[in-house]
Amino acid sequence: MANSPSGESLIQRLVRVLHAFDADHPELTASELAVRTGLSTSTAHRLAGDMAEEGLLRRTPDGRFRIGLVLWELGQRSSTYQEFGQAALPFMEAVHVTQRQNTSLAILDHDDGTIIYLERLISKDVSTDLTKVAGRLPVLSTAPGLAILAHSPRQLQERYLTSTWDRATRLSGITEVGLRRRLAQARTDGYAHLRGITVAGSSGTAAPVFGPGGRVLGAISIVAEVDQINLQIQVPVLLAATRGLSRQMGSRGKSGGWEPS
């Protein structure tokens, strides 16, 4: 693949263009793309035009660009993450209806070092929640991150515990020893609970979902205001949902179920 003068491949430049779009920037001009990607205006305009011709981007009537339907179509057609999310929805809905709290499904992105949310059900009773579908949050300062990490291979745990911590975890005052204890407790209890770390005034409770061979696939989590925490009620409902989904994912076998990379 042809490289730019900086040594960056065409694929890398295309990915930079796609990453320029987000919830706050759903539409961009070629000039705005250039600013957000660091590419020259002519390069950004040429790449955006080529991507629009292939459906990866869509050109609006006023000449701006936005993400095209082809990306959505390909994701819906072939994504095993989509299958995992669809399988989880009935179990998430059971939690959401009974608890009336924001309920999410998250997985761990090993390469990026964050968790990413696949599905989310919203409650009007919860106002302080940063989770959103396709959104990312740090592993160590989130309940689903700890729930997944607690059941991940030891070498992966060490990678997070000994690497640079995210800002929220550092400011919380939690030490490495404290985090190790939280992971051990999560393995024993079957769930992780964090209070007021990512957002003051809110808490997260998450339980892991397992697949074939007992490998952790992700976690279902509840976000609640701190004055609405009732673990004696919330945890059994959450565990019932994750155990049901784990049975379903495990029954698919290695050829039919999704497994983490």
**pLDDT band at 256, cuts 50/70/90?**
very low
Q: What is the DSSP letter of 224?
A: E
DSSP one-letter string for 15-76:
HHHHHT-BTTBSSB-HHHHHHHH---HHHHHHHHHHHHHTTSEEE-TTS-EEE-HHHHHHHH
CATH code reported for the domain at 79-256:
3.30.450.40
What kind of architecture, by CATH, is found in domain 10-73? Orthogonal Bundle (1.10)
- What pTM, to 2 d.p., does this model score? 0.73
**Model confidence over 34-46: pLDDT tens digits?**
999 999 999 999 9
Where are the chain's structural domains?
A: 10-73, 79-256
Q: pLDDT of 205-216, one tens digit each?
A: 999 999 988 999
**pLDDT computed for residue 76 by the predictor:** 67
* Cβ-count burial 102-129 (b if 16+ within 10 Å, e if not): bbbbbbbeeeebbbbbbbbeebeebebb
Looking at per-residue pLDDT, the higher value among 224 and 129 belongs to: 224
pLDDT band, very low/low/confident/very high, at 122 (cuts 50, 70, 90): confident
The tens digit of pLDDT for each residue in 175-229 reads: 888 889 999 999 999 999 988 655 666 788 999 999 988 999 999 999 877 777 7
pLDDT of residue 1: 40
- The three-class DSSP label of residue 109 is strand
- Percent of the chain scored above 70 by pLDDT? 83
Is the pLDDT score of 131 beyond 70?
Answer: no
CA separation for the pair 119, 96 (Å, rounded): 12
What is the percentage of the chain residues whose pLDDT exceeds 90?
43
